[in-house]
Amino acid sequence: MKQLGILFVFSFIFILGSCSSSNSKLIGTWKVKSVQTHFGDENLPPAVITHIKNEQKKLSFKIVNDSVIVFMMDNNTHEGHYTLNPNSKVITYFFTGENEFKNKLGFWNGSEIINDTKTPLGNLTVTFSKQ
């Protein structure tokens, strides 16, 4: 009987370990994989577009646990909190003390986080991958 109890406990632990949440798959350091600009008919000099892309590539972030995110850019860090909508897979975040100002980080497709932003110049798509 004791062996059956031990077997049950190990089985239960194995089942819990194999059922990882979506949030646990997000934990880690994320860096920019690609930046795409869709500025339409705007006649921007190539140097401006290159500058915009390079500025975006400076951003990285670390998802620490199921609610804390740390943004890193130019040796500065900013801590916040994030949530993953389980239905839409959209990740939103807010900075500590600014709970009412939620920002959209992007859409999680299961392996990458994709941020589509509309700007006055057009659309900007930044794809993050976990390192």
pLDDT of residue 22: 67
**Mean pLDDT estimate for the chain:** 85
Cβ-proximal residues to 63 (8 Å cutoff; 6+ apart), any chain: 26, 27, 28, 30, 69, 82
- Residue 53: give the domain boundaries: 30-130
pLDDT tens profile 58-114 = 999 999 999 999 999 999 999 999 999 999 999 999 997 887 889 999 999 999 999
Do residues 111 and 23 make contact, with C-beta atoms less than 8 angstroms apart?
A: no
Looking at 1-10, 33-42, 66-75, 95-104, which range is the least confident one?
A: 1-10
Residue 13 lies in a domain: no
Residue 23 lies in a domain: no
Nearest-5° angle of CA 60, CA 61, CA 66? 160
- How far apart are the C-alpha atoms of 69 and 79, rounded to whole Å? 6
Number of domains in the chain: 1
Residue 35 lies in a domain: yes
Do residues 11 and 105 make contact, with C-beta atoms less than 8 angstroms apart?
A: no
Residue 9 lies in a domain: no
pLDDT of residue 100: 82
pTM of this prediction exceeds 0.85: no
Phi-psi map region of 38: left, alpha, beta (phi>0 left; psi -120 to 50 alpha): beta
pLDDT of residue 99: 78
